Amino acid sequence: MFLQKVLRTSLLLILVGGLASLALAVVSTARSQSAQETPVGPDALEALAGMGKTLSAKQFSVQSRTFRSYAGQNGELLHIAHATKTVYSRPDRLSVSVTGDDGSIKLLYDGKTLVLYAVEARQYVSLPVTGGIDKALDALEERTGTDFPLADLLSDNPAEAVASGITSGGKVGTSTIDGVRCNHFFFEQATDDLELELWLEDNEQAVPRRFVVTYRSLPGRPIFIAELSAWDFSIQPPDSDFVFQPPPGVTQVEFKASATTTTPK
């Protein structure tokens, strides 16, 4: 379920904060609709379908800047920012580079091995995984308690994955982001008590350019904001780009679960 949770772990803090997955849908014109009417507007469904078709491409890269809330040691609401570049190649190649307020980390998956490299710590962990990107991200969450917010955009059916759990929503207006006209959508996900805003380019590709998630039931109503840019569907990365070659002086450590703090879930 898209952006159902964002978790923190010691080694993976940057990854979690920098990669965010997207979620969508519109408040009722929606609140006044009858139970028999479609809770999500047809314009929103059409835009999501266009996005899903585009993101079903065999390979692409995208950059993002994110800003998110998380709970401090004393329960205070704090904020952290990250910049990310993701390179994706179906069915089993993934490269993610993240830099942010708390350092840098790289994730590489070559179809056989998932590697997380903490740049400043000069340490990496490695986990054997086969079966594709979905399996690798499932293994990441299982072993570390870390959810990968971008996972829905990398699924076999991005539109279905992103829309999962949305109970109402639709188009609320238009905006211009970096000179590009975008349709602005607002959605609710009642099960997890979320509000979700999504900006999709107003064209056939309908790629995501911005999203905001508000966690209504958590103290302080923390938010997650991401802006996406530099979408490129013409890349042809060689398999070697997804294989980790440890730099001199970098050591391997054991891949084991870390204590986590749910922020938010």
Q: What's the pLDDT tens digit per position in 159-211? A: 887 788 888 999 999 999 999 999 999 999 887 788 989 999 999 999 999 98
Say if residues 148 and 141 touch (Cβ distance below 8 Å).
yes
Average pLDDT, the chain: 81
**Alpha-carbon distance 106 to 114, whole Å?**
11
Instruction: Identify residue 63 by its one-letter amino acid code.
Output: Q
Q: Is 206 helix (H, G, I), strand (E, B) or coil?
A: coil
Give the per-residue pLDDT at 5. 38
Q: Is 148 helix (H, G, I), strand (E, B) or coil?
A: coil
Q: What is the 3-state secondary structure (H, E, C) of 229-242?
A: EEEECCCCCCHHHH
260 domain-assigned: no
Give the per-residue pLDDT at 147. 58
Residue ranges of the alpha helices (H) in 63-179?
133-144, 158-163
Looking at per-residue pLDDT, the higher value among 262 and 203 belongs to 203
For residue range 139-156, list pLDDT tens digits in order.
888 887 765 656 777 777
2 domain-assigned: no
Q: List the structure tokens of 36.
A: 């028999």
258 domain-assigned: no
Looking at per-residue pLDDT, the higher value among 229 and 220 belongs to 229
- Residue 184 Cα distances to 27, 33, 58, 129, 154, angstroms: 12, 20, 27, 38, 22
Calculate ∠ Cα 105-109-114, nearest 5°: 75
Q: Is 176 helix (H, G, I), strand (E, B) or coil?
A: strand
262 domain-assigned: no
- Residues in CB range of 199: below 8 A, 6 or more apart: 175, 177, 182, 183, 184, 185, 208, 209, 210, 211
Parent domain of 125: 7-253
261 domain-assigned: no
pTM: 0.80
**Alpha-carbon distance 188 to 65, whole Å?**
23
Mean pLDDT within 106-132: 95
121 domain-assigned: yes
Mean pLDDT within 52-62: 95
Residues 168-188 as b or e (16 or more Cβ within 10 Å = b): bbbbbeeeeeeeeebbbbbbb
Residue 28 CA from chain centroid, whole number: 25
Residues 242-257 as b or e (16 or more Cβ within 10 Å = b): bbbeeeeeeeeeebee
Mean pLDDT within 33-39: 45
φ/ψ of 79, rounded to 5, equals: -135, 150
Give the per-residue pLDDT at 150. 62
Give the per-residue pLDDT at 257. 56
CATH of the domain at 141: 2.50.20.10
φ/ψ of 54, rounded to 5, equals: -65, -45
Residue 24 CB neighbours (<10 A)? 29
- Residue 149 Cα distances to 1, 6, 18, 37, angstroms: 10, 7, 9, 30
**Alpha-carbon distance 22 to 15, whole Å?**
15
Give the per-residue pLDDT at 148. 60
Q: List the structure tokens of 73.
A: 């040691």
Give the per-residue pLDDT at 22. 30
Count the domains in the chain. Answer: 1
- pLDDT over 70, % of the chain: 79
Lowest model confidence (mean pLDDT) among 16-20, 73-77, 124-128: 16-20
Give the per-residue pLDDT at 157. 83
